[in-house]
Structure 1
Amino acid sequence: MPTDSELYLPILVGSTYNYKPEIDFQRDDIGENISAKNPNYNELTAIYWAWKNLSDVDAVGLVHYRRLFSHGGTRSLNNVVNRDDVESLLENTDVIVPKKRHYYIESNYTHYIHAHHALPLEKTRSVLEEKYPDYVSSFDMQMKKHSAHMFNMFIMKKMYFDQYCEWLFSVLKDLESRIDISEYSTQEARVFGYVSELLLDVWMDANHIQYREMQWQQMGDRKLVLKAFNFLKRKFSPSSEKQSHF
C-alpha cells in the first residue's frame, strides 16, 4: 500500500463491522454512509462515502489496497502514479480508468453468468428500461463486448464523479428491491459490487465520456488481506504551489 499520506488516503470499508482502534484509516461509517451494506456493496461503500462527504476537491478516485494505477514495468510501489501524472492526464480527459480486461472467448455477459447468478443482470436491465431508457442500448452493447474496465478503479473530475454516483446508486437501490439475496452465499451476496463493475462502461458510453486508460499493477501477497482501499482525492490549485491529497 502506498505510504505517501499527502497523496493517498486509505479508507477502511465496512467500518461498521471491521473498525478497530489500532486501524488508523479513514472510516466509511462517518457522516452520511452505507457502511453497513459493505457485505453486499464491496468497495462501493468507500465510493459512496466520498460522494456524500467530500466537497472541496476537484477530482476523486479509487484504487485497491493491492491494485494500483502504475507506469507498468517492475511491480513496485515506485511505479505507482503520482500527482503530476494525474494532473497531466486530467488536463486532456475527464476520467481515468484501468486498461481493459479481455475475455476473448466469452462476452462480458457470459463471463458474468458463468461466475454469478444471472438474475441480477437481467433485473439491472429492467431497471434501466424503466428508469433510464437512454442507457439500455449501451448496456446491451457492453454485455456483448469481450472486454471491460473492471475493478471499480477510476479517477474522475469531481463533476463527473458526482454524476456517476447519482446514477449508479440510483440503479443499485432499485435493483436491491428486485432481487432476493437471502439465500445467496457470502460471496454471491456481494452482488451489487459485482454488477457495478459492468456499469462503469455503460455510464461512460451512454454519456459519451472522454476517458484515458492507464496500466495497473497488483501488489503484495493475496493472503495479506485488509479490507481497505486507497481513496484518491485531488484539490487542484491554480497557484504554483500544488495543494493535493489522494
Structure 2
Amino acid sequence: MEIIQMSMKLAIGFLFLFVFISILGKKLIDQFTPFHFISAIVLSELLGNAIYEERVPILHIFVAILIWGGLLSFLDYIGQKSLFLRKLFEGKPSMVIRNGQVDYQQLKKCRMNINQLQSLLRQSEIFSIREVSFAFIEPNGSISVLKKAKYQKTTLQDFNLPAFTIYLPITLISDGKLIKENLEEINKDIHWLNDQLLSKGIDKFENVLFAEWLEDDGMMIIPYRLM
C-alpha cells in the first residue's frame, strides 16, 4: 500500500508541476531571478516532503502546490502592475562597463572580480574588454553587451578584404596583481611594463585594475578609480 500511495503522490505531483511550469515556465527558466530561484526551491521541498512523508495525504499535495502556485501567480501579476515591486522581485541590471570603462564599484556590488567579468564576456564571444562600450549584468547573472562601433560584427566579404592574422589579447595585470607568466609570454619585462604605465600617468601596477596587451592594438590600461 505504501508503494501504491507514493506512486499516486508522484503521479499527482508530476501532473500539477507540469501544469504549473507550463503557466510560469518562462519566468522560472528563461528569466531565473533570485525570487524565482527561491520559489523553485520551496516548491521542490514542498513536493518532496509530501511525497515521502507517509502521514501527508494526497489532498495536501494538491493544496500545497495550488496555494504556492497561486501566490507566485499573484506576485507575478502585481509585479507587472507596479514598477517598484517588479524591481523588488526581479532585480535590475547593473552597468559594469560604461563608455568603455569598467565601473569597479558596480562590479563589487555584483560580487564579481575582473576575471569573472572576462569569463562572461568570452562566453559572449568577446575576448577583450576594449571591444565593449556598455555591459550589463542581468538579474539572472547573464551579461548583455553593446560593442564599440569599430568592433561591430561584419564580414571580410562585405568589403572584399583579404584575411589577416588574429591575435589573442593577453592579460598582464588583474586586480592590481602582475601576471608574470603572461608578461614573459609576450617577451616583455617589468621595465617595459613600467614605461607603459608611466606613459598613462600611473606610477605602479598596484594602482591598475586591469591591463591587457594586444599585438596589433597595443596596451589597454584600466586604473582603479571611481566612475
Greater RCO, CA 8 A, separation 6+: 1
With the length of structure 2 as denominator, give the TM-score of the two structures: 0.21
